[in-house]
């Protein structure tokens, strides 16, 4: 019902289920479909603007883009996926995202698009196979399912049900996984039902490992492993990993874990205006958590007090200490992704200039 209330459901159905050749769309509907397809063509480029897709898809960017990339990568045919149930699944997943400023269905669509391009253009298919491609796109699609705009630290400190259920281990990510897999178990949404059980189990393990990797608590460990387990092997003249040598499953998983982390903070390499919009949305969402913490007489978390400078005032530090180590290591392993580092640096330069202006004016940086 939520999708229909937001409008655009009919155009999405037209796009995802195809049109009968006997009744080609005409008038406004034909123009809508043309506009939707034009935006989706841009999904093959890093300049992609997900907010443009959100508008063209009638507020339903996640299911449209996810369907588009599943088709584009040939996954429905290759894995004999039930396309009707896949449409159902994507609709339920989109409707399960709350209207948070940042962690919403549009952010997830953005992550799906980044993962699509990392697979298509980034060079990772040199090391991973087709099941890994399916896992990467599915993980991107569900990685924030039912997110409430509250971070793990808050969920644990407040003894939230999600923290209790996960024994305080990645409560958000654990919930995104279990809740989305409950959707898959529903008969009308089980698009994997024709897949052999062993393959389903392998897919599930990969999806779990990828979504859990989006917990920022895992960040430094993944960057460190990327350096030791992949970059060192690439640099070694004795290692044949780049010449078609066998890639261990653990290394395939590590590559995809790093990829989904890069995709998850993809607004950092978005076009300037898109990056600013996401940064402001993240700041507002963090401030809303701070408001809840104040209401509950909890200590307000760092950068979450709306009466103090927020996350938009700390972007240079975040890039220097968190983002740059990941991206520099990734680009060293996958040189085709150098453009991402260049785009991060362009946005970083903007924040650095703002920081210097604030210091010059005597304002808190």
Residues assigned a catalytic role: 103
Burial class (CB in 10 A: 0-12, 13-18, 19+), 146: middle
* Angstrom distance (rounded) from CA 127 to CA 136: 13
Q: Is 169 helix (H, G, I), strand (E, B) or coil?
A: coil
Task: Fill in the DSSP letter of residue 79.
Answer: T
Quote the Cα angle for 280-283-286, to 5°: 150
- The residues, ordered by sequence, that sit 6+ positions from 215 with a Cβ below 8 Å of its Cβ are 152, 170, 172, 173
Q: Contact at 8 Å (CB) between 23 and 44?
A: no
What's the gap between Cα 298 and its chain centre?
Answer: 30
* Contact present, 189 and 138 (Cβ < 8 Å): no
């Amino acid at each position: 019902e939520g999708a229909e209330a937001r409008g655009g459901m009919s155009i999405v159905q037209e796009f995802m289920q195809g049109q009968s050749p006997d009744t080609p769309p005409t008038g406004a509907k034909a123009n809508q479909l043309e506009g939707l397809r034009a935006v989706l063509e841009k999904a093959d480029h890093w300049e992609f603007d997900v907010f443009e897709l959100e508008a063209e898809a009638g507020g339903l960017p996640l299911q449209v883009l996810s369907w588009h990339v599943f088709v584009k990568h040939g996954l429905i045919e290759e894995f004999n996926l039930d396309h009707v149930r896949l449409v159902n699944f994507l609709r339920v997943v989109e409707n399960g995202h709350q209207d948070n400023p940042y962690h919403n269905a549009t952010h997830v669509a953005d992550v799906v698009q980044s993962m699509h391009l990392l697979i298509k253009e980034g060079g990772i298919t040199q090391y991973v196979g087709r099941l890994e491609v399916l896992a990467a796109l599915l993980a991107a699609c569900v990685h924030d399912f039912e997110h409430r705009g509250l971070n793990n630290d808050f969920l644990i400190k407040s003894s939230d049900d999600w923290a209790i259920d996960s024994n305080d281990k990645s409560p958000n990510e654990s919930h995104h996984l279990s809740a989305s897999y409950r959707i898959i178990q529903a008969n009308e949404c089980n698009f994997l039902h024709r897949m052999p059980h062993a393959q389903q189990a392998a897919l599930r393990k990969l999806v779990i490992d990828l979504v859990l990797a989006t917990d920022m608590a895992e960040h430094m460990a993944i960057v460190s492993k990327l350096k030791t387990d992949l970059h060192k092997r690439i640099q070694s003249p004795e290692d044949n990993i780049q010449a078609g040598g066998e890639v261990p499953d653990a290394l395939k998983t590590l590559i995809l874990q790093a990829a989904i982390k890069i995709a998850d903070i993809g607004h950092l390499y978005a076009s300037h205006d898109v990056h600013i919009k996401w940064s402001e949305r993240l700041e507002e969402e963090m401030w809303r958590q701070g408001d809840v913490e104040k209401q509950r007489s909890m200590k307000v978390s760092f950068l979450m007090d709306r009466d103090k400078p927020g996350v938009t005032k700390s972007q240079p530090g975040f890039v220097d200490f968190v983002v740059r180590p990941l991206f520099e290591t990734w680009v060293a392993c996958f040189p085709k992704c150098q453009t991402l580092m260049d785009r991060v640096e362009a946005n970083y330069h903007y924040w650095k200039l703002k920081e210097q202006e604030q210091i010059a004016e005597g304002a808190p940086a």
